[in-house]
Chain A
Amino acid sequence: MGADNTAFETAVLDAGFAGYVVRTERQAVAVVLGEAASAVPAENKGVNYRGADLPATPPAVLTEKAKAVQAFMRTRACRLAR
C-alpha cells in the first residue's frame, strides 16, 4: 500500500478496471479507484471487528487485460532498471 505506483494505477483504470487486489503474507488488500470509489455501500460492524467470519478471498483469475496491465508494469520496470 505504501509504494508510489501511480503509473500502474492509471494503467488499471485505462484498461477498464475499477481497481486491483494485492496479496500480502497474511491478507489481501483491494484498492478501488476513481468513480467506482465515490460511493461504496458499507455495513458498519463497529470496533474490534477483524473479519474472522469472512470467506477467504478466492485466487485471482487474470483476464487478458489484467495480463496486459502486468506486462505494462514489467516493461516500465525494465525501463527503470536500465
Chain B
Amino acid sequence: MTSLYAAVHAEFGTWDIAPGFTDAGARLLNFVEGLSNADFQQRMTRLYWPHSPTTFGGGSVTWRGFRSDGNYLSNNWQENPNGEGYQATITGSGRPDIQARAAGLRARVAAVNKQFADKYAWGSTQSGRAERAAGDGRQGRGGVELSPKQGQLNLVGVHYSAEPREAINGSYFGTGMKGAEVERGARRKDVRLKTRVYAYASTGSGVYPEKYVGGQAHVVQLRTSTTPTATP
C-alpha cells in the first residue's frame, strides 16, 4: 500500500489521493482541483496493476472504478468546531428530519454534559459559558445593550440559525454562507467586527428573513442596560 501511495504521488504530484482502507480492500478518491474523473480513472488503471499487492487480506485483488454524483462534504474544524459546515449542508439538502434527529441527539448530549458538569464541578460546557457570559456585569441577563445611555433602545428581535440554540454566539457568524458576505468577513481587519449577531425587528408587520439565514427562529431581547459596554 505504501508503494501504491508513493506511485500515486509520483503520477499526480499530490498526496491528496491517499488509499483508504475499507472492509474489503482500499479505495482512492479524487478531490483534486482540475483533475477530471475520466483522467483520474484512466491514469489510475494504468498505474494500479504494477503497484498493487498480489493478495489483500488473503483474497485475490480486483480493481474497479466508481463514481459518486455527490460532492465531498467537508467541515473546517478550526473555524466550525461544532461541525457547523455539516449542519449547513444538511440544512440545504431539504432533509429537516435528519437535522431534527441531530438536534435532538445534541440536546440530549448537552443535557448529560450539564448534569455531570454540575454534579462534579467540571467547569464550563459551551452552553454554560454562554449563559454565564450573558449574565455578567457587562451584559445584563436577558439583554444586550446597544447604547451607552439608558432608555435609548428596547428592541425585541428575531435571529435565525440552522439549529435551535439557547444563546447566539456571534463568533460563528457566516457559517454556511457563501459569496460576498464571506469575502467581506475575511477582509475585516478590525477583529471585533468578525463577531456579530443579526436580528430582524418588526416595524409592525412581523419580520421577513432572507433565505440563507436558517430555519430556526429565536427571539432575542436587545435593550439598554444600566452599564455601558465600553467607555467612550
* Residue positions of A touching B, CB distance < 8 A: 1-2, 4, 6, 9-10, 13, 15-21, 23, 26-52, 54-58, 60-61, 63, 65-66
Give A25 to B70 CA distance when docked, in angstroms: 40
> Which listed residue (A10, A29, A52, A61) contacts B193, Cβ 8 A?
A10
**A44 and B165 in contact, given A16-B231, A30-B222 (Cβ under 8 angstroms):** yes
Query: Which chain A residues lie closer than 8 Å to B184 at the CB level?
Result: 4, 6
Known: A39-B134, A57-B201. A34 touches B195 (CB 8 A): yes
Residues of B within 8 A of A48 (CB): 215, 217
At the interface with chain A, which of B9-17, B30-38, B82-90, B141-149?
B141-149
> Could you tell me the distance in whole angstroms from the C-beta of B207 to the nearest C-beta in chain A?
4
Minimum CB distance partner of A42 in chain B: B218
* CA gap between A44 and B135 in the complex, in Å: 18
Asked whether, in the complex, the Cβ of B134 is within 8 Å of the Cβ of A55, the reply is no
B156–A54 CB distance below 8 A: yes
Q: In the bound complex, do residue B232 and residue A65 qualify as a contact, i.e. CB atoms below 8 Å apart?
A: yes
Tell me whether A41 and B155 are in contact in the complex, defined as CB-CB below 8 angstroms, given that A1-B198, A6-B188, A57-B202 are known contacts: no
Task: Please tell me the size bucket of the interface on B.
Answer: 35 or more
- Asked if B216 and A46 make an inter-chain contact with CB atoms under 8 angstroms apart, the answer reads yes
Q: A6-B187, A26-B205, A27-B206 are in contact. List 16 more A-B contacts (CB 8 A).
A: A17-B147, A17-B148, A23-B203, A27-B202, A27-B203, A30-B199, A32-B196, A36-B146, A38-B170, A39-B167, A40-B168, A54-B219, A56-B203, A58-B153, A63-B148, A65-B148
Whether A21 lies near B168 (C-beta < 8 A) is no
Task: Give the docked Cα–Cα distance between A52 and B207 (Å).
Answer: 7
> Known: A6-B188, A36-B144, A38-B169. Contact between A56 and B181, CB under 8 A?
no
A58 to B222, CA, bound (A): 12
B52, CB-defined interface residue at 8 Å: no
Q: Are A51 and B167 in contact (CB under 8 A)?
A: no
Q: Which residues of A contact B142 (CB under 8 A)?
A: 41
Question: How far is B155's CA from A27's CA once the two chains are assembled, in angstroms?
Answer: 12
Known: A36-B145, A45-B219. Contact between A52 and B206, CB under 8 A? yes
